[in-house]
Amino acid sequence: MRNLILSATLVTASLFGLSAHAEPIEAGKQYVELSKPVAVSKPGKIEVVELFWYGCGHCYKFESTLNPWIETLPEDVNFVRIPAMFGGMWNVHGQLFITLEAMKVEHKVHAAVFDAIHVQAKKLATPEEMADFLAAEGIDKDAFLKTYNSFGVKSQLEKAKKLAMAYQITAVPVMIVGGKYRFDISSSGGPQQALQVADHLIAKERAAQ
C-alpha cells in the first residue's frame, strides 16, 4: 500500500515546466496501449478519463491546466473523472467525489474540496467533517450524508475500483483515451504535454471511427 501511495504522489514537480515534445508521439514512449480495451461509458463518443485523488498534490496542480482544456473539447468527446482508490483516505475521498457527482454539484464545489485539502490543510476524513465543510458551499448536510451512505454511491464505488484495475493504473493523475490508451504527466513530459498526447489520441480515435 505504501508503495502505491508513493508512486501516485512522487511525480516530480519539475515536470510542470517542461518544454513541448521534440519527438513524435508514439506508443511505448508517451503512452501505452492497453492489452485489453475497456468499454467506454457512452458508445459513439470518444471517451477521455482522468483518474485522480483529491489528496494528490499533482492532481491539484494539474487542475489549472486540465480544466481550461476540458472547456474546449468538441461534442464528440466525453470527459469523465474517476477517483482512484488504493484504500484508506483514497477510498474515503473517492466516496466523497462520487457523492458530489450523484448530487450533480457544480465544478466549483470540487475545486473547493481540492482547496480545502491543499490550501486550508483540512483532512475531510469523515462524512461529518465533509458535510460541515460543504454546508458553506451551499450543500445541504442531511442530503449529503444520506447520499454518501446510499446504495447507489456504494455501487459506483465498486465500479470505479474495477475500472482502475482494468486500466492497470499505479499512479495519479493518469488519463485514458478510448478505453485503449493510458498516459500520465511523467510519460508525456509535463501537464501541457499530457494534453497534447490526449489531443493526438482523440484524433487517432476519431480517424478510426
Alpha-carbon dihedral of residues 37, 42, 48, 51, nearest 10 degrees? -80
pLDDT at 7: 45
Beta carbons within 10 angstroms of residue 202's beta carbon: 20
Assess whether pLDDT exceeds 60 at residue 20: no
Backbone angles phi, psi at 183, to 5 degrees: -155, 165
Q: In sequence order, what E strands does the chain have? A: 32-33, 46-52, 77-83, 174-177, 181-184
Beta bridge partners of 79: 48
Please write the tens of the pLDDT for every residue from 136-186: 999 999 999 999 999 999 999 999 999 999 999 999 999 999 999 999 999
Query: 78: which 3 cell numbers?
Result: 466525453
What are the boundaries of each domain within the chain?
A: 2-10+24-208
pTM for the complete prediction? 0.88
Q: Which CATH architecture has domain 2-10+24-208?
A: 3-Layer(aba) Sandwich (3.40)
The DSSP code sequence of 10-49 is ---GGGGGPPPPSS---BTTTBEE-SS----SSTTSEEEE
User: What band does 23 get if pLDDT is binned at 50, 70 and 90?
Assistant: confident
Task: Give residue 21's pLDDT.
Answer: 47
Please tell me whether residue 50 adopts helix, strand or coil conformation: strand
Q: What is the pLDDT of residue 22?
A: 55
Q: Which residues contact residue 181 at a Cβ distance below 8 angstroms, ignoring those fewer than 6 apart?
A: 27, 31, 32, 33, 34, 201, 204
Would you place residue 1 in the very low, low, confident or very high pLDDT band (cuts 50, 70, 90)? Answer: very low
Each residue of 25-42: pLDDT tens digit? 999 999 999 999 999 999
Tell me the per-residue pLDDT of 78-121, one tens digit each, with 9 for 90 and over.
Answer: 999 999 999 999 999 999 999 999 999 999 999 999 999 999 99
